[in-house]
A and B are shown apart, each in its own frame.
Chain A
Amino acid sequence: MNILLVLIPVTLLVIVVAVALFFWAVNHQQFDDLDSPAILPLLDDPPRQGPAAEPSEKTEPPTQDS
């Protein structure tokens, strides 16, 4: 039963990590729009008018928290 003394702190640690990850996700608006991203893979190329957007920057996640 001494293995409990290792496993229980490990589960507590897992909870702390999971909560921290979740807080990060909430703070970065990952749960704000649950509808639009679902159709993201179905998108054609966006219609291009005016100056075209650089593709490399498109996938960049937001770096700023509000």
Chain B
Amino acid sequence: MSTSTASTYAASTDAAGTYAAWGHPQLAAQVLRRRRDGCSEIALRVESLHDPRQVLWLEQRIRALPGVQHVAIDRPARRVRVVWDAQRTSLPSLLDNFSAAQCPAQPLQLDSIDDARSREQHDALKRLLVAGMCAMQVMTYAFVIYIGVVDFVDFSTRHLFRWLGLITTVPLVFYSAQPFFAGAVRELRERRLGINLPVALAVALVFLASTFNTLRGSGEIYFDSVSMFVFLLLGGRYLELRSRHRSGALGDAVIDAAPLLAERRRADGELETVAAITLLPGDRVHVAEGGTVPADGMLESACVQVDEALLSGESRPLRRVRGERLIAGSVLLSGPAELRVEHGGAATTMARLGALAARARQARSLLGGSDREIGRFVGRILLLTALTALGWLLVEPARAFEAAVAVLVVACPCAFALTRPATLTRALGVLAGRGVLVTDGSALATLAQVDHALFDKTGTLSVPQLDRRAVEPLRGDTLEHVLQLAAALAHESSHPLARALAEAARQHALPLRAQSVQVSAGAGISGEIDGRCLRLGRADFALAPSGQPVSADTAGALLLADAQGAIAAFHLDEQPRADARRMLDALRADGIVPTIASGDGETRVATLASRLGIDNWYARQSPADKLERLQAARRDGHLTLAVGDGSNDAPILAGADVSAALTSGTELAQAHADLLLLDGRLDGLIDARVIARQVQQVMTQSRRWSLLYNLCAVPFAALGFVPPWLAGIGMSLSSLVVVLNALRVGRNETPVRPDPASPAERIRELRA
């Protein structure tokens, strides 16, 4: 159910080299979109698109297949869209051709087909070009009038040029400038003052006044100013759009790489890991505690608790009993569940899937959100404009209009408003490329100031491993038998210790099935195997029914016990993650005090803490104890960071100022985290901290710059020294400075570890 298995899953399908499963019509219907002309459309994720030559070869090869009409490759997003006639080339053979070209492809969900980015970009490009062409023409007409070459002919020729100016400005105002008007209307409807309003107001005022003067046949016209203004502004917005899209594509590529997985029960009772998108109605699915329900389905286990907070916002745990419906995307809080899938990837369900992906995208879309500061800013500008107009009306009425428009344009807080979205979008894109997904953009601001960090131990700082020699049967059973019993229970939990145990047993023993399994967070698992009640977990939990005392030599071990007492002890070995030490050293150098809070025994925590050089550690902590530690630190005035991976860490992840979860852990933990560390890479935290600092710096800089620019430019405009076209250039340039400044995030600092992507690729992405 987690991303840790994603790579093995992908490898297994690649190795098999067969995509025959996609020939199933129901399955194909989940990823294909029918077009009116009878063709099909599909979005694919292609992993190996580093080399531009490869892209070209792939494109040529796919285009040469019979029935293929259109191939679009989005390299930064690692996505390929194909439109083709499925009658002439079947989906499996299309996929086979991708893998024969050494670019194995995985179909993506239906909603990935809609390529909003390229649509938006095409639209902006067209508007920009129309504005450019019209502005050029209007300038020539205006120039003719300026230098007065037609004055000596007659007045009708002069009027002709004024009319020509009007005609060529019309498409510019009504087509190219339309996004500004639409934005202004939207802002007014939402009863707030945004940056589109001053722009739309300026364009409309200048255009209407000039049109009126043209019709009247006398007075000044400003068609050249308004057209240059719109053209420059669109140019600035287009550049901003390009850099935003590049960051978005990088993020998409990372999200696609972690598809939602499901454990499907085969006909022989074995479990196999498949992508959730390949589930069909009638399939039986096993969901471990802490996992995400991969598809809508009927519950076949007795009773479970689910959290549907990500779907409905209802944060109370909900009880579901046998025969009730579980909704795709909800997170299992207790006990494993067996599920019979009702509808597979019907569009409605798939849209809710992959809560991780959805949240990461949502974080990005919220970036451009309205800022109250901007509203106040715009309000002041409108006031200032009115004052300027009034002032000039008293002194020299002829210049009032021009000066007022110049103030309106020059003071528009576009640069100010762009600062936050431009910088954060860039930061999120850079971080996604380095294996950190940010689900809450404002968390970065807090992360830059964090001074206290609380770490979970098992699964976060260390990876447990079970050596077969470390299995100690206590009542004379064979080693295989106890391992088998323990694995049957361990399989039902997503705790890292349980996973390590199940992993060790998988190579040797035949799986048993445990009944009525209950998982107690932070303590252990209980269940029935062949009518025998068994408990696996911490010594005090496992021995509770038998009342046996906890002996010293098994205190630190994982115990398997029944009602009579202990059956076996498992001495799991722990290795700190390869990058844990480096990450902790970097945090300490940065002034953050790391602390370990673990549910594990004292000796084990102490050993690991000394290996990692951590002085503050707490053992035998329940989730509530951990939360108490965290709140104590917060009461002392610390800003806290919590890092965890398991379901029992969810409370501290939710309670900390900033939280990070490893995506190798449970989905419940991920659901409460602000940062997600992909591929179990802890040093993503260092990157995140560095980037967060840079974001703060760059944002302060950009805001200062835009305020300074406005303060300098407004007096000149108000005194009538700045013609509207110059105001347009100034405003566009100041926005551009902010966008370029945002691109500095993640650019100058050297990467803290060798990057898996090729250096050339990396540099390209940074420059883009």
Within 8 A of A (CB), among B518-569: none
User: Closest CB-CB distance, B46 to chain A, in whole Å?
Assistant: 14
User: Closest CB-CB distance, B67 to chain A, in whole Å?
Assistant: 11
Contact A39 B52 (CB under 8 A): yes
The CA-CA distance from A15 to B74 in the complex, in Å, is 31
The CA-CA distance from A35 to B242 in the complex, in Å, is 14
Contact B69 A64 (CB under 8 A): yes
Contact B64 A40 (CB under 8 A): no
The CA-CA distance from A43 to B61 in the complex, in Å, is 14
Q: Does B100 contact A (CB under 8 A)?
A: yes
Contact A64 B61 (CB under 8 A): no
A-B contact pairs, 14 of them (CB 8 A): A4-B157, A12-B167, A15-B133, A27-B122, A32-B74, A36-B75, A39-B52, A39-B53, A43-B57, A46-B57, A50-B96, A53-B61, A57-B64, A64-B37
Dominant secondary structure at the B interface = helix
For the side of the interface on A, what is the size category? 35 or more
Contact A43 B100 (CB under 8 A): no
Return the CB mask of A45-66 against B: 1 if under 8 Å, else 0: 0110110011001101011101
User: Closest CB-CB distance, B153 to chain A, in whole Å?
Assistant: 6
Q: Give chain A residues whose Cβ lies under 8 Å from the Cβ of B115.
A: 66
Contact A36 B83 (CB under 8 A): no
Question: A15-B134, A27-B122, A53-B61 given. 19 additional CB < 8 A pairs?
Answer: A1-B153, A4-B157, A12-B137, A15-B133, A19-B129, A29-B72, A32-B74, A33-B55, A33-B75, A36-B56, A36-B75, A39-B53, A43-B57, A49-B101, A50-B97, A53-B64, A58-B63, A62-B69, A63-B70
Q: Give chain B residues whose Cβ lies under 8 Å from the Cβ of A40.
A: 56
Q: Does B130 contact A (CB under 8 A)?
A: yes
B contacts with A, residue count (CB < 8 A): 44
- Work out how many contacts link A and B, with CB atoms closer than 8 A: 87
With A11-B137, A29-B72 as known contacts, state yes or no: A50 contacts B122, CB within 8 Å: no
User: Closest CB-CB distance, A10 to chain B, in whole Å?
Assistant: 12
Contact A60 B125 (CB under 8 A): no
With A8-B164, A19-B130 as known contacts, state yes or no: A26 contacts B125, CB within 8 Å: yes
Return the CB mask of A1-27 against B: 1 if under 8 Å, else 0: 100100010011001001100110011
Closest to A50 in B: B100
Q: Give chain B residues whose Cβ lies under 8 Å from the Cβ of A43.
A: 53, 56-57
Q: Give chain A residues whose Cβ lies under 8 Å from the Cβ of B118.
A: 29, 32
Q: Give chain B residues whose Cβ lies under 8 Å from the Cβ of A26.
A: 122, 125-126
The CA-CA distance from A63 to B65 in the complex, in Å, is 14
Closest to A45 in B: B57
User: Closest CB-CB distance, A42 to chain B, in whole Å?
Assistant: 8
With A8-B164, A22-B129, A49-B101 as known contacts, state yes or no: A54 contacts B64, CB within 8 Å: yes
